[in-house]
Amino acid sequence: MGWHGLPAHDLISNATIQIRKDLMRSQQLQSLIAMARARSVAPDASVVERRELFERAVAMFPLPPDVRVQPVDAGGVPSEWLSTPGIGPSAVLLFFHGGGYNVGSLNTHRHLAADLARAGGVRALSVGYRLAPEHPFPAAVDDAVTAYRWLLSNGIPPQRIILSGDSGGGGLALAALLKLKDDGETLPAAAVCLSPWTDLAITGASVVQKAADDPMLTPDELYRYAAGYLGGADHTNPLSSPLYGDLQGLPPLLIHVGTSEILLDDSLRFAERARNAGVPVTLTVEEDLIHVWHYFAQLIPEGEKSLKEVGAFVRGILIQQHQGV
């Protein structure tokens, strides 16, 4: 059975596929879904209005007091270091926030970047890449690659860097890998993608099939964000839609996605193409979970559990790199 058939569990050569079904989901998750469905975002809300709503909503997720935040200019890209006590400087999680390339910021995703870094036992460099429509494609990719090169110029070796991102930021991490590969540069050790947006042509069947199940995203939002970001560029350009790229030679990937999100097929199809290209892929599909549920780890146990899984992947990759595996 293919990945679109969602087998209960499989292990295929260089791909680990985990399909978690029939789990008892928490009451906290149910409350979160109800709250998300009740959100009052007008379908015709402008990008500016959506940004403002996002910035206000993040007040629900205070940053733990032990997280240190240090603003930094990463080669001209406004970014910030996030670290917790006991974390050494030798490894870095290079993080790109979600928001469909149109919304989101360092502020809206500070807690998620910090949570991921803590789980992996590393510090994070969160990147404030330029947003569309003011700065259309390929501005975000250019900024992502600039931040990576800045890390290299500051003595962080590629094998100690892991790219990461959620939603559009997950797609951006993959696009950065393809750009670096095209430029003949040494790639980072791995990438972690949470509910990544990999197809700005929006051809996945789940966009329609899961529309009634997804409390976080609507097809209309995807079309609006894609139009704002692409600004007339090719929807299937691999640097905007990594699904269409040459994936051979990419480093190990961890992909998390839920079955209750319209971007489900963006993960399933990308993981399958990556596996067919010989890329080591760990794909976890969580039954009934929503878009980037990790973002809500302070509210739901499912988020906390998945953060631990991300942390285990990051730590495992870094141990392998240290041992020269």
pLDDT digits (tens, 9 = 90+) for 10-37: 333 456 777 766 567 899 999 999 999 9
**Whether 291 is catalytic:** yes
pTM (two decimals):
0.94
pLDDT digits (tens, 9 = 90+) for 43-80: 889 999 999 999 999 999 999 999 999 999 999 999 99
With pLDDT > 90 as the criterion, what percentage of the chain qualifies? Answer: 86
Mean pLDDT of the chain: 93
The answer, yes or no, to whether residue 103 has pLDDT greater than 70, is yes
The pLDDT-based confidence of 41 (bands split at 50, 70, 90) is: confident
With pLDDT > 70 as the criterion, what percentage of the chain qualifies? Answer: 93
Report the sign of the C-alpha dihedral through residues 25, 29, 31, 34, in that order. negative
Q: Would you say 125 and 94 are in contact if contact means Cβ atoms under 8 Å apart?
A: yes
The answer, yes or no, to whether residue 124 has pLDDT greater than 70, is yes
How many other CB atoms sit within 10 Å of the CB of residue 49? 13
pLDDT of residue 6: 44
**Whether 256 is catalytic:** no
Q: Residue range 270-283: average pLDDT?
A: 97
Structural domains of the chain, count: 1
The answer, yes or no, to whether residue 283 has pLDDT greater than 50, is yes
Range of the domain at 151: 3-323
Which CATH number fits the domain that encloses residue 51? 3.40.50.1820
Nearest to 193 by CA among 251, 237, 245, 139: 251
The pLDDT-based confidence of 295 (bands split at 50, 70, 90) is: very high
pLDDT of residue 269: 98
In whole angstroms, how far apart are CA 176 and each of 94, 188, 311?
11, 10, 22
Determine which one of 83, 105, 164, 167 is catalytic.
167
Pairwise CA distance, residues 298 & 300, whole Å: 6
Tokens standing for 296? 């809500």
Determine which one of 164, 291, 294, 302 is catalytic.
291
AA identity, residue 149: R
Determine which one of 79, 241, 260, 261 is catalytic.
261
The answer, yes or no, to whether residue 217 has pLDDT greater than 50, is yes
The pLDDT-based confidence of 220 (bands split at 50, 70, 90) is: very high
